[in-house]
């Protein structure tokens, strides 16, 4: 939708400009959202928001190979979206911090709310 008149709300623009985030943060945030744009990674992250799991657990849940899941986890680890801990020879994965957990939870709730309104 287009504005009916061309008018710049200077106070609002100035307030927004003064609080804009650094370009590096913008690019890094876009990279995180790009990583989250894959359905398999969303499933992995949702599962990890419930409990920590190993690669074999995730592979079984997703119906995929351990190699394929490892590929996704490698990317998520590089972006500090997931972390791991070793217990003997088993490596368990979990979400890196509460921000990632909140992001996944908020996204799922947003989508579910939209579905309820439409349905």
Phi and psi at residue 31, in whole multiples of 5°? -65, -40
What is the per-residue pLDDT across 12-60, written as a single tens digit (0 to 9) for each?
999 999 999 999 999 999 999 999 999 999 999 999 999 999 999 999 9
CB 82 within 8 A of CB 76: yes
State both tokens at 89: 């020879």
Q: Where are the alpha helices (DSSP H) in 2-82?
A: 10-18, 23-35, 39-50, 55-62, 66-78
What is the per-residue pLDDT across 78-89, written as a single tens digit (0 to 9) for each?
999 999 999 999
pLDDT at 118: 65
Domain limits of the chain? 10-118
Does the pTM of the predicted model rise above 0.75? yes
pLDDT at 5: 78
CATH architecture of 10-118: Orthogonal Bundle (1.10)
């Amino acid at each position: 939708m287009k504005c009916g008149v061309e008018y710049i709300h200077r106070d609002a623009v100035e307030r927004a400009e003064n609080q804009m985030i650094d370009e590096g943060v913008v690019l890094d945030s876009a990279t995180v959202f790009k990583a989250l744009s894959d359905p398999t990674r969303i499933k992995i992250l949702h599962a990890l928001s419930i409990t920590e799991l190993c690669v074999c657990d995730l592979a079984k849940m997703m119906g995929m190979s351990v190699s394929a899941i490892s590929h996704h986890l490698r990317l998520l680890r590089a972006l500090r979206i997931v972390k791991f801990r070793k217990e003997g020879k088993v490596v368990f994965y979990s979400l890196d911090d509460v921000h990632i957990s909140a992001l996944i939870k908020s996204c799922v709730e947003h989508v579910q709310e939209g579905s309820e309104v439409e349905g």
